[in-house]
Amino acid sequence: MAAAELHHPDADRIDLTEVLAALGHPVRMEIVRTLAGAPTEFSCALVAQGLPRSTVTHHLRTLREAGVIRQSPAGRKLHLVLRRQDLERRFPGLLSLVTGEFAAPEPAVGPAP
């Protein structure tokens, strides 16, 4: 896939339903949480390791076309970054809900042993 072909929707055209559908898959959720915890741009080769690259490519395209991530060429690789500001402006709180749950999972409910 040539970098020139990579389409990213404008921030104002990011659709909530598409974003939720993109996030609503365990692999894509894992990718988003990985990127949320990454200090800088991240290489495509480092997400969802252990899955076939064609599968990873599919999930990254779904996230990119929904407006959740940007993919930008970096030499022969693609770098990934979360579109934090765009998502926060359009859907305040969504990203922190998704990534915050990861950081602080709901405690188990039930009687003490």
Say which residues have a Cβ less than 8 Å from residue 32's Cβ, sequence separation at least 6.
23, 63, 68, 69, 82, 95, 98, 99
H-helix segments, the chain: 16-23, 26-37, 53-66, 84-90, 94-103
* Count of chain residues binding a second copy (CB under 8 A): 24
Structure tokens at 112: 């003490």
Piece of the chain touching a second copy by CB under 8 A; list 42-50, 51-59, 71-79, 105-113: 105-113
Decide if residue 23 touches a second copy (CB under 8 A): yes
**Among 52, 109, 111, 113, which residue sits at the site for a second copy (rule: CB under 8 A)?**
109
Instruction: Give 4 or 104: the residue with its C-beta nearer to a second copy.
Output: 104
Decide if residue 16 touches a second copy (CB under 8 A): yes
Decide if residue 65 touches a second copy (CB under 8 A): no
Decide if residue 17 touches a second copy (CB under 8 A): yes
CA-closest candidate to residue 63, choices 20, 5, 102, 105: 20
**Among 46, 53, 55, 93, which residue sits at the site for a second copy (rule: CB under 8 A)?**
93
Q: Is 66 left (phi over 0), alpha (psi -120 to 50) or beta?
A: alpha
DSSP 48: S
Residues forming the site for a second copy (CB under 8 A): 12, 16-26, 29, 90-94, 97-98, 101, 106, 108-109
